[in-house]
Every structure is written in C-alpha cells, then in structure tokens.
Amino acid sequence: MTSRKKTTEIRRFIAANVAIHPGDMAALIASEFDLSRQAARKHLSSMVKDGLLTVTGRTRNRKYQLAFLVNQTTGIETNNLFEDAVWTEYIVPHLSGLPENVIQVLSIATSEMLNNVIDHSESDRLQLTVIRTAAAVDVIIRDFGVGVFKKVQEAFNLIDERQAILELSKGRLTTAPDQHSGYGIFFTSRMVNSFKLWSGRLFFHHTDNVEDWLIGFDTEIQGTYAALTVRSDSQLSPKDVYDKFCSDPNLESDIGFHRTHVPLKLAQFGNESLVSRSQAKRVLSRFDRFREVMLDFNGVEFVGQAFIDEIFRVFRLQHPDVRVIAINANRQVQQMLNLARSIGNANKASPSLQSDDKTRLESE
C-alpha cells in the first residue's frame, strides 16, 4: 500500500472511530495499523491542522472530536417551494469533494423528504440543517405541520400511530396516490446510513447495521423531524437499493417494487407479545402487493402459534404467489415456524391444498 493510500485509510479510520474513542485514539490507531504511538499522534495532529479534528487537554488527558466543516440552519417558507431548488441552493454548496454515490444518495433522500413536507405536512415553513464532518453529512428537515404518523393513522383508519410506522416501513403507502407512489420513505430509509423520524410522541430510528427501534416520549412535538445521515465513505448507491427491492430474476421484465423488508419488532406495541391472529392480520396488511416479503424477527423474543399460523399457513394458502421469508428468528420463533411448516405439510394431502406448490414457508 502506498504512503498516500495508507494515510487516507488511517484518516477514514479516525473519522469513523473518534466519536467513541476520544481519549485513546492514538492507541487505537497504533494497534490497528501497527504503528508507534508517536506516528499515530502525527496523523491526529495532521487532521487537527487541516481542520478535521479539534483537540482539548494536554498529553494523557488529550481528547479529540470531529470538527464541524459545515453547521448551517436555514428557515424556509414552503409556499410555492420546489425541493430541487432547496437542494441546489442550500445543500449542494456544502458537498464538495464527496464521492458521487454519496451525493446521489443525499440528492434522492433529501428530495423525497422535502417533497413530503411540501405536499403532505400542511406546514407553512420548514427548518433545514446541514451538518458536515470528516465522517458524515447530516441533513435535518423539520416541519411544523400535522405530523407524519398522525397523518397516516387518520388517512388509513389505523388503531394507533405506532401502526403507521409499521405500514410506512413496508413501502407502497401514500395519503395522496394520485401524486405519489408511496415509495419515498421506504427507499430513503434504506439508502442512508441512519434514518430518524420524530413526530408527536414517537421517535423511530432505522440504521444500516442495527435493528430498528421505536421510542415513546411523554412530551409531544409539533410536526415532523426527519434526520438523514450518510457516511462519507459509504459504498451504497441508489441503484444498489433499487436492485435489491425492485429486481426479480424470475421475470423477463424486472421493473417494479416487488420486494420489501418488514421489521416485525415495530408490530409490538409496548410490552405486548405477538400471539394473536388479529395482530398477524395487522402485520399482513398490504403484503399481497409484493412478490416477496422479508419478515425480520430481530428483537422479537416470543411469538404465539396462532400468530405464526396466520402468516405462514393461512395467508400463503390465500396468496400463493407471495413469498414470505422469515429472517433473524431465535430458537423459540423457529420452533413456531417449524410447527406451521409441519401443519402445512400434513394438510397437503387435502385436495384443496394441492395448488399451494407455488410457495412454501421459508426461513433463514
């Protein structure tokens, strides 16, 4: 590896790790790259000199943190506003030097969220914040309207705002079908490295390497707060995401939103367990619009037999062309999946089930 390539690699490592290792960064660099402490400190000093890091304290008490290359907040009126104008005027000037795929992701993700504010939020203004460090770019969009979860709950007569989050996670959901496809939030959350939505009393967070999680607060905020984070070294491109969820090798024409990923943990309201058929039916809502559904059990500790049976036996009999795949199932969940499979196999002798050969219960 050339000296320049190694320096670039070390700088990326520092940017990615300094937030959680502010006081022992030199030791971490030395261990990772087989360097002396002195050589490691030179790399840190170089980044401080270039304005990428700030440092406080001396010698052993020295602590580093990422410097803000950009930290700008702008208030914008939404009347007669176009999202591409916001992108060009307020965001593009701060992205110089970033890889093309990162800029493409930011362009699509921010445009989708801005469009939601303009067309759906009923807010007369928004607040746009752009933050850039050596590690990542954050775009934060805040409106003061009705709130995304409340809007979806009321439009689709859902029992709870938390169910709105579950439905949004599936994709293909919009309160204005003549104007929007309903794909925006789904694809945006899958393109960025961190996606946060805070509205009313609910805070939803999706990341590319950690399970989805939902937090309820006692205090309520007006409107919606959306925060998008894209790492500067992200390798993901919009095409990667579209290919993952839109392509189908079994079809001659692979254009379309065929596949979705549903975090089942979002279906758990409070401390309740997923045990009933009614809960399963809420989860299954709109599954028939897809050819393949990846049902993610990450963070789900227990499920009931009726819940699993409704999804993996009853639903598949009614919708043989929809493939539902269980992923990240623990031992108890896998036992319920196996039970549903055994019941399905036992019933295959029935003439009414002969047409079920097109699909099967699957798990990973």
SS3 call for 225: strand
Contact 143, 126 (CB under 8 A): yes
Of 286, 33, 12, 269, which is closest to residue 163 (Cα–Cα)? 269
- The two most distant CA atoms of the chain are separated, in Å, by 79
Q: Count the neighbouring beta carbons within 10 Å of the beta carbon of residue 353.
A: 16
Give the separation between CA 236 and CA 193, rounded to whole angstroms: 9
| pLDDT the model gives residue 349 | 46
Predicted structure pTM score = 0.78
Give the separation between CA 296 and CA 308, rounded to whole angstroms: 13
Domains, in order of start, for the chain: 3-66 (1.10.10.10), 70-236 (3.30.565.10), 258-363 (3.30.750)
Residue 173 φ/ψ region, left for φ over 0, alpha for ψ in the -120 to 50 degree band, beta for the rest: beta
Cross-strand pairs, 199: 202, 224
Residue 146: phi and psi, rounded to 5, are -80, -20
CA distances from 133 to 14, 51, 219 (A): 12, 10, 30
Give the separation between CA 155 and CA 161, rounded to whole angstroms: 11
Low-confidence spans in the chain with pLDDT less than 50: 180-181, 249, 251-255, 349-364
CA distances from 107 to 35, 101, 102, 237, 347 (A): 39, 10, 9, 11, 51
- How does DSSP classify residue 303? B
Helix axes 100-120, 184-191, angle to 10 degrees: 150
| pLDDT the model gives residue 341 | 79
Contact 128, 89 (CB under 8 A): no
Helix axes 161-170, 148-155, angle to 10 degrees: 90
Q: Please state whether beta strands 136-143 and 213-231 pair in parallel, antiparallel, or not at all (unpaired).
A: antiparallel
Side-chain half-sphere exposure of 37, counting CA atoms within 13 A: 4
| pLDDT the model gives residue 163 | 83
| pLDDT the model gives residue 164 | 84
Q: What is the pLDDT of residues 217-230, one digit of tens each?
A: 888 899 999 999 99
